[in-house]
Amino acid sequence: MGKRIAVLGAGSWGTVLANLLVENGHDVRLWTHDPAQLPEINDQHTNEHYLPGFHLHEALHASTDLEASLKDVDAILFVVPTNAIRSVATQVLPLLAERSVKPIIIHAAKGLEKGSKKRISEVLTEVLPDDLIRGIVVISGPSHAEDVAAGDITTLTAASVSVECAKAVQAIFMNQYFRLYTNTDVIGVELGAALKNVIAIGAGALHGLGYGDNTKAALMTRGLAEITRLGVVFGAEPLTFIGLSGVGDLIVTCTSVHSRNWRAGDQLGQGAKIDDVLANMGMVVEGYSTAKVAHELASEVGVEMPISEAIYQVLYQDAPIKEVIADLMGREGKPEFDFQG
């Protein structure tokens, strides 16, 4: 049966997910903070800046009225960049009071909040009290908006401490080309999703510098090793990192020209300056902000993340990429896995 769903954020991912939910037969309200988007989405059925060349379902309706968008909804999907989640949730909070049906809160963003260093579900839990919502579910996995828009077969994880909520979200999204698996390891899913974006900047930089496939495979594999190392310290299940939101998403983000993180790295590898890259992307490059949070978290808990640290130095300390690569390769020899001491 169709559900009433508010999708908050009309960028590339929010627009595609809202469109998919309309295709799945739901009553979808796409909320944007930018009134300039309304005539294009509602009358021309396009969102050219975020999804060039893609025609949206004619039943997809966008609005800037948050209260109307949230009226009687069964679920609220947050798809704004990580650092905007708290402010959007704060606007949602007063509109949730006195409801007979408590909505499921879903988020599809990938990052760690600047300053607080929190995962997105932690931010949502802080802002939206338990008694006003049914539960929180994160959807994550290898899923570029452009490929989903084209109907490419795509698989995601729906993670929640509530199996019942994860199953409800699985049912809302699944169709013949979009398949979700449930998972209860929210920590692992969110950390894998956030930290792979940092590694993807590195993968793009290697490409921009002309490195070959061996080097890219090395970066992805050793990148996953350090993501896992940090994740387990924060309570994640190691297996989650070889799942869709771990290695799956790492592969797609480190190899696809659709990835904004990869493209940012590619431009850096070719000599561009980070400020220019970010200013010209026109969409969020989550790995930039996450690289700083990862640097802070790793030093706080004393976990070695040499690749993420090297990328942090390139992004924030203007370190030359070739020099940080030479430093990484010049480290002392080590066993492949920590348990081999």
Ligand X SMILES: NC(=O)C1=CN([C@@H]2O[C@H](COP(=O)(O)OP(=O)(O)OC[C@H]3O[C@@H](n4cnc5c(N)ncnc54)[C@H](OP(=O)(O)O)[C@@H]3O)[C@@H](O)[C@H]2O)C=CC1
Ligand Y SMILES: O=C(CO)COP(=O)(O)O
- Please identify, among the stretches 66-74, 123-131, 138-146, 326-334, the one whose residues bind ligand X according to the rule CB under 6 A: 138-146
CA-closest candidate to residue 108, choices 117, 121, 97, 126: 121
Q: How far apart (Å, rounded) are the C-alpha atoms in residues 155 and 251?
A: 13
CA-closest candidate to residue 11, choices 106, 84, 73, 91: 84
Is 299 annotated in a binding site? The answer is: no
Q: Confirm or reject binding of residue 249 to ligand Y (CB under 6 A).
A: yes
Q: Which of residues 229-288 bind ligand X (CB under 6 A)?
A: 283-284, 286
- Please identify, among the stretches 78-86, 176-184, 236-244, 245-253, the one whose residues bind ligand Y according to the rule CB under 6 A: 245-253
Q: Confirm or reject binding of residue 137 to ligand X (CB under 6 A).
A: no
Token digits for 8? Answer: 């908050």
Q: How far apart (Å, rounded) are the C-alpha atoms in residues 154 and 143?
A: 6
Q: How far apart (Å, rounded) are the C-alpha atoms in residues 298 and 39?
A: 45
Q: Which of 114, 117, 118, 196 is catalytic?
A: 196
Active site residue 3: no
Q: At what angle do helices 286-301 and 260-269 cross, to 10 degrees?
A: 90
Q: Confirm or reject binding of residue 142 to ligand Y (CB under 6 A).
A: yes
**What torsion do the CA atoms of 249, 140, 14, 20 make, to the nearest 10 degrees?**
100
- Candidate residues 29, 107, 110, 119; the one interacting with ligand Y per rule CB under 6 A: 110
- Candidate residues 2, 25, 87, 93; the one interacting with ligand X per rule CB under 6 A: 87
- Our CB check for ligand Y shows the closer of 103 and 265 to be 265
Q: At what angle do helices 274-281 and 260-269 cross, to 10 degrees?
A: 140
Annotated binding site for NADPH: 12-13, 33, 50, 110, 145, 260, 284, 286
Please give the positions annotated as active site. 196
Annotated binding site for sn-glycerol 3-phosphate: 110, 141, 143, 196, 249, 259-261
Q: What is the contact surface with ligand Y in residues (CB under 6 A)?
A: 110, 142-144, 197, 200, 249, 252-253, 258-262, 286
